[in-house]
Amino acid sequence: MEDKLALAISLIFNLIFLSIPFESVASQSSISGSELSSLITRHLNTLGLEGNPSINNKRIFSGCRSEDIVIQKRDASWKTIQLSCKGNPYWTYNFRNAMDRAKEEQISDSKRIAKKTASVKKINVFVLVKNKSKGETIRDSDLAISAANSILTKGAFEDSQSLLGKTLKRSLKKGTILKKNHLNPAWLVYKNQKIIIEHNLGEVSIKMEGIALKNGAIGDRITVRNTSSNKTLEGFVKGEKKISIFRKIY
């Protein structure tokens, strides 16, 4: 009888001691809904996202350690989150996730813009290598070639000869892509300058001296004063210090 009692006591103690590691393993392989929700939220934050997974905070999820949980989006969006376990192929869950709509759209827009930008053709244009002030002349040492997206280069120059010797309409910073609207026109006639006024009547050409009343580039319509008659005329700039008139202004 005593032997049987001793054997029974020994079995009870063995069961008690053997149950300790099992309980420890079980606790290591479980995670609460609250902890799982926090784990998902932290993962989303590393991706620049905010969310609110629909998980019962009091529920216990057994069978996988937190460090073995793999968090993925089920489809193209993070609106549904898929969970799996590295050490347990049978441990898998799907949860709805309330995404921050504005944040999701912002990321989507950023990806779309990046994709569009990558597909845009680039061309070589001239940029300034240093700051330049209004009225300064563009010289060869002021220029460098840079590749830029074609959508940003409307009016830019691909030929330095079209830039050299021109003056700036306004001050520009280093790195600015030089464009036509940055430069003063290539004046052929300057205000208050003595010019030749040409008036063609069929095969007859009459030339007179005059004073320009405005600056003018080739083809510009400007006014001039005839120095002989003191009358004001208007015409088109034909060349350097030369205009062609078509009528008088009284």
What pLDDT, in 10s, does the model give residues 106-122? 555 565 655 655 556 78
Among the listed ranges 14-18, 22-26, 112-116, 211-215, which one has the minimum average pLDDT value?
22-26
The better pLDDT of the pair 27, 204 is held by: 204
Q: Which pLDDT score is estimated for 29?
A: 84
Q: If DSSP states are collapsed to H, E and C, what string results for the chain?
A: CHHHHHHHHHHHHHHHHHHHHHHHHHHHCEEEHHHHHHHHHHHHHHCCCCCCECCCCCCEEECCCHHHEEEEECCCCCCEEEEEECCCCCCEEEEEECCCHHHHHHHHHHHHHHHHHHHCCEEEEEEECCCECCCCECCHHHEEEEEEEHHHCCCECCCHHHCCCCEECCCECCCCECEHHHECCCCCECCCCEEEEEEEECCEEEEEEEEECCCECCCCEEEEEECCCCCEEEEEEEECCEEEEEEEEC
Which structural domains are found in the chain, ordered by start?
A: 26-101 (no CATH), 122-182 (3.90.1210.10), 194-249 (2.30.30.760)
100: CB partners within 8 A, 6+ apart: 49, 50, 51
Give the pLDDT score at 130. 93
pTM over 0.75: no
Q: Is the pLDDT score of 231 beyond 70?
A: yes
CA atoms of 234 and 197, how far apart (whole Å):
10
Residue 160 tokens read as: 């330095």
The per-residue pLDDT for 201 is: 78
The per-residue pLDDT for 186 is: 79
**C-alpha R_g of the chain:** 41
**Which of 91-105, 136-150, 154-168 is least confident?**
91-105
- Mean pLDDT of the chain, nearest integer: 80
Average pLDDT over residues 230-235: 91
**pLDDT at residue 26 is higher than 60:** no
What sign for the dihedral angle of Cα 124, 130, 131, 135? negative
